[in-house]
């Protein structure tokens, strides 16, 4: 598949007392990328064109008229996938998608 970009995800596994890092491979379809932005940490955030609806819970708020806490209510929201690439993967992404750096 020529339209797949493979990148590394690092996850924390194990307990809080003995955390370990595990690296796994993942991929994204470069045809689905609609936007990318370099964030201050040197990583690259990629937004994909996979808009879908999800049920989210809004945080608890206080009704200022009654001074009562309103429990978080559920609401439908339209969301999309955001992938953050490491600086090394960012360089490879630029090279493989022919974006000048």
pLDDT tens digits for range 47-100: 999 999 999 888 788 878 888 877 778 889 999 999 999 999 999 999 888 865
Q: Specify the number of domains making up the chain.
A: 1
**If you average pLDDT over residues 28-45, what whole number do you get?**
94
Within-domain flag for 101: no
| Claim: this prediction has a pTM higher than 0.75 | no
Burial state string for 23-54 with b = 16 or more CB within 10 A and e = fewer than 16: eeeeebeeeebeebeeeeeebbebebeeeeee
Within-domain flag for 70: yes
Which range of residues forms the domain containing residue 29?
A: 4-96
The per-residue pLDDT for range 4-19, each reduced to its tens digit, is 999 999 888 877 788 8
pLDDT at residue 59 in the model: 79
């Amino acid at each position: 598949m020529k339209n797949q970009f493979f990148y590394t995800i690092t996850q924390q596994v194990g307990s809080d007392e003995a955390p370990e890092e595990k690296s796994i491979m993942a991929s994204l379809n470069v045809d689905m990328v609609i936007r990318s932005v370099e964030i201050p940490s040197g990583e690259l955030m990629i937004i994909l064109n996979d808009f879908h609806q999800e049920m989210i819970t809004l945080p608890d708020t206080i009704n200022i008229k009654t001074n009562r806490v309103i429990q978080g209510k559920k609401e439908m929201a339209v969301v999309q996938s955001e992938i953050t690439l490491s600086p090394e993967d960012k360089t490879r992404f630029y090279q493989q998608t022919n974006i000048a750096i």
